[in-house]
Structure 1
Amino acid sequence: MSSPHQSVPPLESSHTAEAGEQTGQQVRTIRVPPLAYLGLLVLFFSVFFFFAGWPLGLWWLLLIPVAGVVWVARTRTVLSESGLELRRVFGSRHVGWAQLKGVSIPKRGFVRAHLTDGSTVKLPAVTYDRLRDLIAASHGRIPDLFAAEEAARDAAANAAAEDDKDAAADDK
């Protein structure tokens, strides 16, 4: 006997696979942070005041925030078992894990992927702050740079501690 308070599961939920996605395949998406929309709203209001002053001559200024919204909505890097799907405003590219040789972190901009053919590709929306997500989603295909740094720091601290012990033993 069923209770009148039982709920019927929805046809689609956040736990169902998206179209084209295989069940069991883990897909992770790295996007431009949604806070960028707030900056675009401020830009819209800034541009709107100029537009209100001369609508016939400055209508094109309203296209700048619209282009920004399209860029934020479209730009992303999708990580799956088959590789990386790099999506930009005007196109996308698939990079398989076998093609990936390594990554580099520039001073500014997005992280770059070095491919086995010698070319370099920017990873859209992947900045230094999101690098840990990229490494975790790669399941070991990209070496953990942060773990290597911590291991080097621990080794240096251990070497310094041994030097201190040796210096203390020599003083006795």
Structure 2
Amino acid sequence: MSSPHQSVPPAKSSHTPAAGSETGSSPEPTEPTQTAQVIRITQMAHLGVLVLLLCVFFAFVGWPIGLWWLLLLPVAVVVWIERTRTTVSEDGLDLRTVFGSRHLDWTQVAGVGIPKRGFVRAHLTDDTEVKLPAVSYDRLRDLIRASNGRIPDLFAAEAAAREAEYEARKSEDEAQSTEAGIDETNAETTEPEANAEAAEADAEGAGTDVEVSTTEIAARDSDTDARDSDD
């Protein structure tokens, strides 16, 4: 007795090409998309929050009714650490602070400035400045790298200026060394000439002394002859 047989379609394997694609054809390459980079306050700042919590806790224990509000200070600092950030993406800069947020397109950013204190500032095309939250001087390299050349590399410009200054000083030192070598050569050339002139002057002086001595001898001989004739 034969049993009924029902055909079952083959199971889809990982080697089965996708529907609508030719066998053996490779998938179309997709352009890599750049992920947004988030610049935040360092997590080491939470250690400072812990120290702050211990300080306010001892004060709170001393007078709980009047100093209970001190316990809110560590909470506020934690909120500031977790919320303050700058996100760098292809669309621009997303700035987030404790009480608000703002988006800047790359067409609005004209450059960046480094103040003496605080976060880095972005110079906008409308001659205004905006703080970049969490972007301190030590995070400026991350901002420049994530901008893909939209923000000029200040460190490269500074390095080029230092290299140019070093080359200028090197050229100046070489020029001074060359001038010193020329002066030494001239001194060596002039010294033999001066010695030769001094020797000639000494020889002339010696010849004059010899002539005077010879004249004196002749005069003495004449006086001697005259005395002999008188005798």
Q: Normalised by the size of structure 2, how large is the TM-score?
A: 0.63
1:1-172 correspondence to structure 2 within 5 Å: 24-171=33-180, 172=182
Matched residues in 2 for 1:94 and 1:168: separation? Answer: 58
* Secondary structure class of the residue paired with 2:115: coil
Cα offset for 1:56? Answer: 1.6
Cα offset for 1:57? Answer: 1.4
> Matched residue pairs, number?
150
Cα offset for 1:91? Answer: 1.2
| AA of the residue aligned to 1:72 | I
* Secondary structure class of the residue paired with 1:93: strand
Post-superposition CA distance 1:69-126 (Å, at most 9, x none): 0000100000001110001011110011110011111111101111111111000000
- Looking at secondary structure, tell me which structure has more helix per residue: 2
Range with greater deviation from structure 2 (158-167 or 37-46):
158-167
Task: Tell me what 2:12 maps to.
Answer: none
* Secondary structure class of the residue paired with 2:110: strand
Cα offset for 1:169? Answer: 2.1
Q: Normalised by the size of structure 1, how large is the TM-score?
A: 0.84
Query: Which has the higher Rg, Structure 1 or Structure 2?
Result: 2
Cα offset for 1:148? Answer: 0.6
Cα offset for 1:65? Answer: 0.6
* Secondary structure class of the residue paired with 1:160: helix
Q: Could you say which structure has the greater relative contact order, defined with CA pairs below 8 angstroms and 6 or more residues apart?
A: 1
Matched residues in 2 for 1:53 and 1:169: separation? Answer: 78
Matched residues in 2 for 1:44 and 1:92: separation? Answer: 28
For structure 2, which runs of at least 5 residues remain unmatched after alignment?
A: 1-31, 183-231
RMSD between superposed Cα atoms in Å: 1.1
Cα offset for 1:53? Answer: 1.6
Amino-acid identity (%): 63
For structure 1, which runs of at least 5 residues remain unmatched after alignment?
A: 1-22
